[in-house]
Homo-oligomer: A and B are copies of this chain.
Amino acid sequence: MLAEQMVTSAAIASPYVSRPSPAPTLQGLFSNQPVERIEGGSALFWEEDQADHVFHVVEGVLRVFKILGDGRRAITGFIYAGDILGVSFKDRYLYTAEAVTDVKVHRFSRSKFEDVVNQSAALRPQLFAQLCDEMATAQDQMVLLARKSAEERVGSFLLFIARRLQRSGHDASAVDLPMTRLDIADYLGLTIETVSRLMTRLTKRGVIAARDRHRVTIRDMNMLVRLSGEASQDEAQPHGSLPVRRAVWPH
A residues in contact (CB < 8 Å) with B: 40-42, 66-76, 88-90, 94-95, 98, 118, 121, 124, 128-129, 131-136, 138-143, 145-148, 186-189, 229-236, 246-249, 251
Contact = CB atoms under 8 A, between A and B. Distances in A.
B138 A70 contact: no
Contacts of A136: 94
Given A41-B251, A124-B124, A135-B88, A68 B229 contact: yes
Contacts of A233: 69-70
Contacts of A129: 90
Contact of A88 (B70, B73, B118, B132): B132
B249 A145 contact: no
Contact of A131 (B42, B73, B118, B135): B135
Most buried by B among A89, A145, A232, A246: A145
B68 A143 contact: yes
User: Nearest 6 pairs between A and B by C-beta?
Assistant: A71-B247, A69-B232, A146-B189, A145-B145, A41-B251, A138-B138
Contacts of A95: 139
A251 B68 CA distance: 18
Given A68-B230, A121-B118, A139 B94 contact: yes
Nearest to A226: B69
Contacts of A140: 66
A251 to B, nearest CB: 4
A113 B141 CA distance: 28
A147 B89 contact: no
A71 B188 CA distance: 21
B67 A247 contact: yes
A40 B148 CA distance: 28
A146 B145 contact: yes
Contacts of A40: 251
Nearest to A149: B72
A238 to B, nearest CB: 16
